[in-house]
Amino acid sequence: MTNQTALTNVKFSSWDLDPSILAAISEKGWEYVTQIQAEAIPLARSGRDVVGQARTGSGKTAAFGIPTIESTEANGNLQAIIITPTRELAQQVADELQWLQGDKGLAIITVYGGTDVDKQAKKLNDGVEIVVGTPGRIIDMSKRGHLKLQSISTLCLDEADRMLDMGFFPDILWVLEQMENRKQTMLFSATFPDEVLEAANTFITDAEHVMSDDLEVDIPEIDQMHISIGRANKLWALGRILVNMGDDDQMMIFSNTKRMVDLLSQRLSKFGFNAIGLHGDMPQNKRGRIIDSFKDGSEKILICTDVAARGIDVDGVTIVVNYDLPIDVESYVHRIGRTGRMGRKGTAWSFVSSEDKGQLRKIAATWNLNIPESEAPALPKGVDRDPIRKQQDWEEVANNFGMVPVKISIGSNQGATNHTLTNWFSNEAKLNQLAIGEVCIQDDSSEVEIHLDKVEAVVKVMANRVWNGDSVNLEIRR
């Protein structure tokens, strides 16, 4: 449980919990419950269906884990199942349930793809009380006859927003249909968009809804900033952030695609940065090694997609970079929640191109956030050159028609007209007139639109030109 989550004045010892659980909690040093635990655990212990909303790091796993463990008997029969969207999260939840149960003696196993089917089948056949797994492998094991869903009385969906909004919904419905003896259903997540709640209402209609008050993500420990930058210079800005990392820092870099994860790790390696990539197409054993190396701190920089990052709970992460702004507003919460833990200082940077501005405004408005614009960090003392060179990004300064405004020190006082200036640009820079857009002439200067494909050549060619004997100055209007 992290220090960024406020504790209530309710003690675990006040609940008359199972002695094994209470002993495990006490040994862990937990005394007071978080708000989501205070709201959800008593309801879940009474057998009620629960929909719980609280942000990452608020103690959600214990909120559903403690009641699940308490209502489960060590008799070799499957009684509870917890479904997660990713393998990593399944393993993390299983690990926490394992220590939470203390010496109660429950068999808790994980069931997910990318691991040996026969070994998992043997563990299931040997007797198990709680299964934590991903939808695909759970269905597979059920159809093979190794996982008896009919015997389950308790079901929990962790990261329910993803479970019901990532194409998993048909799988979840199939699993639910097999659970003819289900008595309790719990959904927990950091966000519950309306469409997810509508989906949930098809199978959980009389639940108690509990919500933590600490859902706001603009907490003091996390400094949130965005850098207005085009695609061509995102790598330059990332280099600036990387070169400012301290020895104790760890960074997660988020991309929207698996291809960009691979591309970024290759490019950063080329520039001397040791960064590891993580996405769903990697073999499970490789994913496991990568996550372990990041968790133990031997790797400092992890590049990943949103799905791959689910279940990675590392208290040492101090910097999050949204290399790509997330497509959905909920993912922003999950991403920045990776930092600022255990009382540490956290920083979240977002790279925002001109086409991303609307999405940034939507994210800020949805979560009532202040994400101010910032320049990329300055080079640290002793570093006199950028690790990754900045490029001229004409696309970022172009308008919707691909035209870049160029200011030139020639105006009507120097005899310029729309016709003469257009012809002069066309002749001097060898430009097709289709590459020249609007021309706006003022007294001592003019603004000429040049297509972004030609503006680089225009700037070079026109730098040393003269008009009626006077040198010409060019300036790109940004």
Domain boundary among 367, 386, 415: 367
Domain interval for residue 293: 222-367
- The answer on 281 and 195 residing in a single domain is no
**Residue 382 covered by a domain:** no
CATH of the domain at 44: 3.40.50.300
- The answer on 134 and 19 residing in a single domain is yes
- The answer on 167 and 53 residing in a single domain is yes
- The answer on 144 and 39 residing in a single domain is yes
- The answer on 203 and 71 residing in a single domain is yes
- The answer on 166 and 248 residing in a single domain is no
Domain boundary among 191, 215, 239: 215
- The answer on 233 and 201 residing in a single domain is no
Confidence of residue 343 (pLDDT cuts 50, 70, 90): low
Q: What is the pTM of this model?
A: 0.58
**Residue 380 covered by a domain:** no
Confidence of residue 3 (pLDDT cuts 50, 70, 90): very low
Tally of structural domains, the chain: 3
pLDDT at 26: 93
- The answer on 156 and 20 residing in a single domain is yes
- The answer on 178 and 56 residing in a single domain is yes
Condensed to tens digits (0 to 9), the pLDDT of residues 265-316 reads 999 999 999 999 988 778 878 888 888 899 888 999 999 988 777 667 777 8
- The answer on 111 and 172 residing in a single domain is yes
Domain boundary among 168, 192, 215: 215
Q: What is the 3-state secondary structure (H, E, C) of the chain?
A: CCCCCCEEEEEHHHHCCCHHHHHHHHHHCCCEEEHHHHHHHHHHHCCCCEEEECCCCCCHHHHHHHHHHHCCCCCCCCCEEEECCCHHHHHHHHHHHHHHCCCCCCCEEEECCCCCHHHHHHHHHCCCCEEEECHHHHHHHHHCCCCCHHHCCEEEEECHHHHCCCCCHHHHHHHHHHCCCCCEEEEEECCCCHHHHHHHCCCCCCCEEEECHHHCCCCCCEEEEEEECCHHHHHHHHHHHHHCCCCCCCEEEECCCHHHHHHHHHHHHHCCCCCEEECCCCCHHHHHHHHHHHHCCCCCEEEECHHHHCCCCCCCCCEEEECCCCCCHHHHHHHHCCCCCCCCCEEEEEEECHHHHHHHHHHHHHHCCCCCECCCCCCCCCCCCCCCCCCCCHHHHCCCCCEEEEEECCCHHHCCCHHHHHHHHHHHCCCCHHHEEEEEECCCCEEEEEEHHHHHHHHHHHCCCEECCEECCEEECC
Confidence of residue 331 (pLDDT cuts 50, 70, 90): confident
- The answer on 166 and 65 residing in a single domain is yes
